Structure 1
Amino acid sequence: MSGSAQLRETNFLLILVFAARDVDRYQSSKTGDSQEGNPLLKYLTMKIKATGPITVAEYMREVLTNPLKGYYMHQNMLGEHGDFVTSPEISQIFGELIGIWCINEWISGGKSKSLNLVEFGPGRGSLMDDILRVFSQFQNLLNTCDISIHLVEVSPKLSEIQALNLTGKSTMAKHEDKPSYKTGITKTGLPINWYYNIEDVPSGYTFYIAHEFFDALPIHKLQKIQDKWKEILVDVDPENPQKLRFVLGSGCSLIARTFVQPDENRNHVEVCPEAAVIIQKLVSQLKIYGGAALIADYGHSGDKEDTFRGFRSHQLHNVLLDPGTADLTADVDFNFLKNMTANKVSFLGPITQHEFLRNMGIDFRLKVLMENAKDAATQQHLIASYDVLMNPNKMGKRFHFFSLFPHSRLEQASKLKYPIAGFTKLEMS
C-alpha cells in the first residue's frame, strides 16, 4: 500500500473512533379508519367527475402533498406509533455513519473550501441532526470549509419539526423574495435554509443526501395489453360513488412512449418522471461543480412489476381507501435511475444497507458504543437497533444504497487507491 493510501485509511479510522449515546426518537400521530366525511376523497371525486380519470401520479401527488389535506402536509407520521419508521429514527449510528461518509468523501475530494450539504425529504431532521453532530466533533478538520445546510421539504408541519430539532426554534425567518422559504442557524452554528423545489437549491460543490425520498415520488403505472402499453388510471367506482377504482386508459400514453424501453419484457411497469428530472439535475450539478450524491431507498433493478402500496400504522393499507390518511409508496427502479444518468457520471451500487453499513464500520462503531454504555438497558437498545438496521430479514437487505460521483473521483480512487466510502470493504486490522 502506498504512503498516501495508508494516510487515507488512517484518516478514515480516526474519524470512526468517537463516542456518543444512542437515543430513542419516537413521536407519532394516528388517523381514523372511516372514509365518511373525508374531504380529500370528496375533492378527488369531484375532480374526476369534472375532468375524467386521473393518472396514478396525479393521485399520489394529491394524496401526499395536497396543500389542504395531503398526508405529508399537516402531520408527523414517523415513529413507533405513527405509520412508518426510518433508519435514522431507529438508531443514531445510522446518521453518524452518513456523517462519516460525508467527511471521508470531502477529504478524498480534495477538501473543498466550501460545501453545500443538501438533504431531500429530511423527515423530522434526525438524519441531518446526527450528521451535524459528527461534523461538530471534527471542527478542527472542517474549519477551513464554509459549510451550509439546505433542506428540500414541501411539508409545513415537517419543516417546523426539522427547525425545532436542528435549530431549537420551530419558527424561522421567512423570505418572500428569495428561493428559500425560511432560514436559520443550526445548533452547531451553520446556516440552514428550506426550499420547496430542488431547482432553488444553490449550486456549488455539494453532497446530496436522499433517504427514503425517491419511493414517495409520484409514479405512472403502465400495463401491456396485446403488445401495446396503456396507462392505469384512477376513476370513481360507478357502483359506489364514495369509492375509487383503477381503470385502463384508452390509448398508449406519452409516458410509455417516452420512458419504456423497446426491449422491456415486463407486462407491468412503474415509471417516475420526477425521479428522472431530479437525477438529471444532480448529474448536471456534479459534472460542473463536483461533490457526490448518496441515495438510500428500497427498490429493484428493473425486474419488479406492481409495487405500489400504502402504509398506515405500520400495516399495509389499500392505496385507494381513505386518501390522505396513509403513506403511499413504490419501490425505486434503480436501473431506471441509472439509465437517466446517461453515463455522464459514475453510478455506484446499488448495494444492500447491510453491506454499506458494514463497509462503513458499523460493527466497530457498535463496539465503541457498547464499551461506553453506562447500563445494560442502553446496551440492549444498541443491540436491538443494530439488529433492525442489519438483519437481512428486517432492513438489512430491504434497503439499498447507491451513489453518484464525477468520473474523476473514480479515476482518483483507481490511481491512488482511495476507496469510495461505503462501497469498498474497509480493512480494520
Structure 2
Amino acid sequence: MIPTCILGLRSSFLNRSRLLVAGLVRYQSSSIPLVQSSATALARQLNAKIKSTGPITVADYMKEVLVNPTAGYYPTQESIGAKGDFITSPELCQIFGEMIAIWILNEWQKVGSPKPMQLVELGPGKGTLISDILRVFKHFDQLKEVSVHLIELSQKLREAQAKLLCSEANLGKDDAQQLNITSGFAQVECPIFWHHHLSEVPNDAFTCVIAHEFFDALPVHKLKKTEQGWREILVDIDPNSPDISFRYVLSREPTPMSQLYKPEEGDKRTELEICPSAGALLQNLADRFTEDGGFLLLADYGHNGEKGDTFRGFSNHQLHDPLLNPGSADLTADVDFNYLSRCLKSKALTFGPVTQEKFLKSLGIEVRLNLLLQNEKLSAEHKKNLKSGVEMMINPQEMGKRFKFFSIFPEILADHLKKFPVLGFD
C-alpha cells in the first residue's frame, strides 16, 4: 500500500543508526523518537505476551498488529482512500484495472482459454480492482464459466466488497468458509466466493491469481549480520519508558530463522528482511498451476535483493514509527523479488520484476487514456481525474518506478512462452 507521502520518501529514512546496549542491539531512527507512549489495547496484549514469553520476532509483531481479530489494523481501521492511510492504483483510476483485465485475458487466451476459470484476488481491498476486471470481462463476453474468489480476513472489507460487487449480500460474521453471491452489476450469474485462506479455493480448475499490494503486508523476519554470524532483530518492552513502549533488540543467540536462511552468494548486505510466508504461498501456487493450470500477477513496491531495512509504518498518509500505538497504523516492508524468485527455482517460471511504468505502457495505458479523453460523454472533471491518475501511476518520480510487476507460470509452458512472450515482461 502506498501513502501519498512515500512518493517523496528519501532513502535516508531507511538507513537507521545502530546502538549497542548491554549485549543487545537497539537501533533508532534519526528522525522519529523510539520511546513514545503506546497504550493501545493491542499494546497491552503485546506487553503481556512479551512479559510471559520474552522478545518476539518482527514477523510475529507485524502479524498481531495487522490482523489481530479484536484490535488489529485491518479488522478495525479504514485503511484505503483519502480518509485512510494509503492510496492504491485501482482507487486512483479505472484504467489500471482495465489494463490488468486485458493482461489476464491475453495470457488466458494464449493457453487456450481453459474453462472453468477461477479469478482469485489476494487482499482485494474495497473490491475496486476486481470490479474493473469483471467489467472488462463482461465487455468481451468472457464471464461464462468464470468464478471469483476473494481471499479476505477483514469482515469490514468483505462487506464493502459485497456492497460493490453484488446485488444481494448477506455476509454473516460467523462465516468461516465462503459465500456464493451473484454479481448484480455484471448482469451475468458470476459466482463470487469469500475465503479466509487460499487453501479453501478449489484445486480442480484453471486459476488466475492477482495480488496487488498484498505481499508487502506479509510478516517479515529481520536479520542482522554480526561478528558472531546472523542474528535476528526482535521486539521487546522498553524498560526505560514509564508507559507501555517497545524497542528493537538483537538476539544474543541464533534463532531458527537466522540459522535456516542462507543469503545468496555475493550478497553483501548486513541486514535482511525475509518473508517465509510469501515464499511458501508462491510455492503452493506453483504446485497448483503445475497440477491444474494457471498463473499469477503480482504488483507491489519492492526491490530485487539490494535493500536491507524497509520495515515502516504509515498513518494518515504519513510515516509512522512501527512500534508506536500498534494497531493504529499500517505496517509494511518492500517485497524482495529476488527472494521470491529463489523460492520458486525449478518449481515455476518467473518473469520480472519490471517497473509499473514499463508494464502499463506496454499494455497501452496511454492509448486507452487518449480514447477516454475523446469521449464527449465524460465531464471535464472526470477527464482531469483520469489524466492525473494515469500520470501518477506511470511517472517514475511517483508510482511508475517504485512499483514493480512480477509473474509466475508453470514450467510446462517454457517453450510456449518463448514463442509467445508474456505481455509486459518481454
Q: Is this a same-fold pair by TM over 0.5?
A: yes
SS in 1 for 2:258: helix
Residues 326-341 of structure 1: matches in 2 within 5 Å?
326-341=329-344
Contact 2:290 2:412 in 1 (8 A): no
1:193 is aligned to 193
Paired amino acid for 1:376 = A
**1:382 maps to which residue?**
386
How far 1:265 moved relative to its partner? Answer: 2.1
**Using the alignment, how far apart are the partners of 2:424 and 2:269 within structure 1?**
32
Q: CA offset at residue 410 of structure 1?
A: 3.9
Give the deviation of 1:175 after TM superposition: 8.1
**Counterpart amino acid of residue 180 in structure 1:** Q
Q: Whole-Å Cα distance in 2 between the matches of residues 298 and 227 of structure 1?
A: 32
- C-alpha distance after superposition, 1:146-201 (max 9, x if no partner): 1111011111111111111111445336886xx73333122222111111111221
Query: SS of the counterpart of 2:406?
Result: strand
CA shift at 1:52, angstroms? 0.7
Superposed displacement of residue 345, structure 1: 1.4
Q: Does 1:258 align with 2:260?
A: yes
Contact 1:173 1:184 in 2 (8 A): no
- 1:87-108 CA distance string (max 9 Å, x none): 0000110001111111111110
Within 5 Å, give how 1:96-175 maps onto structure 2: 96-139=98-141, 142=142, 145-172=144-171
Shift of 1:125: 0.5
Seen in structure 2, the aligned counterparts of structure 1 residues 101 and 48 have a Cα distance that, compared at 3 Å, is same
> Once the 2 structures are TM-superposed, how far is the Cα of residue 138 of structure 1 from its aligned partner?
1.3
**Aligned pair partner of 2:408 in 386, 404, 411:** 404
Comparing 388-397 and 189-198, the one that deviates more: 189-198
In the alignment, is the contact (CA less than 8 A) between 2:126 and 2:157 conserved in 1? Answer: yes
Distance 2:287 2:108 in 1: 19
Which residues of 2 match residues 294-313 of structure 1 at below 5 A? 294-313=297-316
Cα pair 1:75 1:158 within 8 Å, conserved: no
Q: Which residue of 2 aligns with 1:221?
A: 222
CA drift of 1:329 comes to 0.1
Distance 1:265 1:227, change over 3 A: farther
State yes or no: 1:237 paired with 2:238.
Answer: yes
Identity %: 46
1:244-393 matched pairs, under 5 angstroms: 244-261=246-263, 263=265, 264-373=267-376, 374-393=378-397
Structure 1 residues 128 and 262: CA distance shift in structure 2, 3 A: closer
1:313 positional shift: 0.8
Residue 20 of structure 1 is matched in structure 2 by none
Check whether the contact 1:74–1:156 (CA below 8 A) recurs between aligned residues. no
Letter in 2 for 1:217: L
Aligned equivalents of 1:94, 1:275: Cα separation in 2: 24
User: Which whole-Å deviations, capped at 9, do the CAs of 1:73-100 have from their partners, x for residues lacking one?
Assistant: 1232100121000000001100011111
What code does the residue aligned with 2:156 have?
A: K
User: TM (normalized to structure 1)?
Assistant: 0.86
**Aligned-partner SS, 2:51:** helix
Aligned AA for 1:112?
A: P
Query: In terms of mean alpha carbon deviation, does 328-337 or 181-190 score higher?
Result: 181-190
Q: TM-score, normalised by structure 2?
A: 0.87
Answer whether contact 1:116 1:149 (CA < 8 A) is retained: yes
Report which structure shows greater RCO (CA 8 Å, sep ≥6). 2
Distance 1:387 1:354 in 2: 10
Q: CA deviation at 1:114?
A: 1.0
Question: Distance between the aligned counterparts of 1:43 and 1:411, measured in 2?
Answer: 53
Aligned to 1:91: 93
Inter-partner Cα distance in structure 2 for 1:292 and 1:59:
31
SS of residue paired to 2:407 = strand
SS at structure 1 position matched to 2:74: coil
Separation in 2, partners of 1:166, 1:359: 29
